Structure 1
Amino acid sequence: MSVQVDIEIASDCSGIPSEAQFEQWCAIALRERETSELAIRIVDEAEGRELNNTYRHKDYATNVLSFPADLPPELGLPLIGDLAICAPVVLREAGEHNKGVEAHWAHMVIHGCLHLQGYDHIEDSDADVMEALERKLLAELGYPDPYHEEE
């Protein structure tokens, strides 16, 4: 299995994970694929809001946006798409929900990678499948259940 991750930092936030961490998180989320290529762009709130407004018609910055590569399968290319992760939102959410910052970053990367593979959480049954897989992958990495709210 081979995963190639191109990371672009377009945020002034501190505490952004290392390239090795991003690669590890992508590798576990994409391990069922023989080869994968993706780009991750770390953005600030202005760009995150613009992207969310342009592509989802929601006028706020969100934690992670997934842009699957819509390539014909017969091309056999490993490119699966792009992720845009809004660093200030990830950091804020970690604090608001009493989650470890690294664990929340890992969750957002894995969550985005699953979207790139076609998983979604629109229907409750699909959300159950996706969340169970997220819990499993994060547990393998030693991170807590991201859906368990701390008191």
Structure 2
Amino acid sequence: MTLAMIDIVIDEDIAFEPPADMDKAVRVACESAGVDTEQIDLCVRFTSDQSIQSMNKQWRGKDKVTDVLSFPMQEPPCDTSESLGDIALAVPFILLEAARLKLPEADHIRHLIIHATLHLLGFDHIDDDDAQKMQNLEQQAMHNLGLYDPYPMDAEQL
């Protein structure tokens, strides 16, 4: 039995109801990466564009809005009996992005949670080989949830 401990924080200036099954997205991301899912602990914060822009500037030196940021608490390999870290999602940005891509909002959020969870586990997309590995894991996790392929061969599918 998976004991997912996902703390959800919704900033008071955000009127938003997150998907009910975010724990499942976190679990399948971990499973696709071959990580033990017996205990999973992380925090997901739903925030404003301004707040994520500030975090992006402070922690990455990029003064712009982005969809999601990950703040890992561990170096790989991760011990899932301890907190993996924090995920911050910019709700207004994500909802506009989902509309532009013609994706269900909840499914797009699930994809971003999978993406961010993989970052917490130590995966990234800085170079092409790592990016391909991470994309493959995201595709596998999304497939396991019965959701769309986030990286179709024909990008116009999105």
Q: Same fold (TM over 0.5)?
A: yes
**Residue number in structure 2 paired with 1:64:** 68
**Residue number in structure 1 paired with 2:119:** 115
Please state how far the C-alpha of 1:30 moved relative to its aligned partner.
Answer: 2.2
Distance, in Å, in 2 between the alignment partners of 1:122 and 1:129 is: 11
Please state how far the C-alpha of 1:70 moved relative to its aligned partner.
Answer: 3.4
Please state how far the C-alpha of 1:17 moved relative to its aligned partner.
Answer: 2.2
CA deviation profile, 1:79-120 (whole Å, cap 9, x unmatched): 110001111111111112222212211110000000000000
Structure-2-length-normalised TM-score: 0.84
> Gaps (5+ residues) in structure 2?
none
**Residue number in structure 2 paired with 1:24:** 24
**Residue number in structure 2 paired with 1:125:** 129
1:86-101 alignment runs, 5 A limit: 86-101=90-105
**Residue number in structure 2 paired with 1:12:** 14
> Gaps (5+ residues) in structure 1?
none
Distance, in Å, in 2 between the alignment partners of 1:97 and 1:72 is: 33
SS in 1 for 2:138: helix
* Alignment coverage as a number of residue pairs: 148
**Runs of at least 4 residues off by over 6 Å:** none
Structure-1-length-normalised TM-score: 0.88
**Residue number in structure 2 paired with 1:2:** 3
SS in 1 for 2:123: coil
**Residue number in structure 2 paired with 1:104:** 108
Distance, in Å, in 1 between the alignment partners of 2:119 and 2:86 is: 10
Compared with structure 1, are the counterparts of its residues 136 and 70 closer, same or farther at alpha carbon in structure 2 (3 Å cutoff)? closer
Compared with structure 1, are the counterparts of its residues 5 and 122 closer, same or farther at alpha carbon in structure 2 (3 Å cutoff)? same
Q: Percent identity?
A: 34
CA deviation profile, 1:29-53 (whole Å, cap 9, x unmatched): 1232232210011001110110011
CA RMSD of aligned residues (A): 2.2
